[in-house]
Amino acid sequence: MSALAEVFARTRAEGRAALIGYLPAGYPSVEASIAALTAMVAAGVDVVEVGLPYSDPLLDGPTIQAAVDAALARGVTTTDVLRTVREVGATGAPTLVMSYWNPIARYGVERFATDLAAAGGAGTITADITPDEAGDWVRASDAHALDRVFLVAPSSTDARIAYTAQHSRGFVYAAAVMGVTGAREQVGAAAAGLVARVRAVTDLPVCVGLGVSTGPQAREVASFADGVIVGSAFVRCLLDAVDDAAGIAAVSSLARELAHGVRGGVVAR
């Protein structure tokens, strides 16, 4: 059983959804991002996404773009991302890399899989590549026992959802809304329906992202999904902070609020 599978088995036994938190590696610095991600785990995040900074993040909204641009300007590399995975993964929380495909292809698919496994990473979420275009990654992730998470959206056909779920491992990422990442006042109304459509074709956990930023929103999503994914709200904590210490404290506080929220929801299967 993979580390991700163990987390979802545990959270299901507890009658709740998992909390999945994202931050890009290297913002506001490599050390500070490691400290912030570690603080998130201590405050109740079950699974960590480490963002691999990329210069053309088409699916990311202005909040994540601002942090990623700053990280790249400071020279953050894939090696720094892998170091972040290693250090955050030492907490015991399964740690995934969230990446666009181009940085992985440039690094080398087999090399990336080898180095990610060596760093103790659980796998990847690939934001902009579909399973039918990811043959190299499917083979490499199989060879190194890495989970691979692909995305579905409200616009996905039933056939596309089934195909994506068939080639996913770990969980299926259900994008709650059409559009780029970013905190929203309301979670997309299509989210629950999308989760139901995914569950009709797979037993994999289904996790919802894009838009969650508060405890009540986390509780809402936790009532119908296996996992609640939060990214931009955590990044905003760091962007708005007067210094690293304040940012880490804000991230920790938000994680506690969200962890309380997911523990108030009952996963409907």
Q: Which residues are catalytic?
A: 49, 60
Distance CA 151, CA 239 (A): 27
- Maximum distance among all Cα pairs of the chain, rounded to whole angstroms: 48
**Distance separating alpha carbons of residues 145 and 261, to the nearest angstrom:** 32
- Three-state SS string over 218-233 comes to HHHHHCCCCEEEECHH
DSSP assignment string, the chain: --HHHHHHHHHHHTTS-EEEEEEETTSS-HHHHHHHHHHHHHTT--EEEEE---S--TT--HHHHHHHHHHHHTT--HHHHHHHHHHHHTTSS-EEEEE-HHHHHHH-HHHHHHHHHHTT--EEEETT--GGG-HHHHHHHHHTT-EEE-EE-TT--HHHHHHHHHH-BS-EEEESSSS-----SS--TTHHHHHHHHHTT--S-EEEESS--SHHHHHHHHTT-SEEEE-HHHHHHHHT-SSHHHHHHHHHHHHHHHHHHHTT-----
Tokens of 87: 């250090």
| Tokens 């990044």 belong to residue | 235
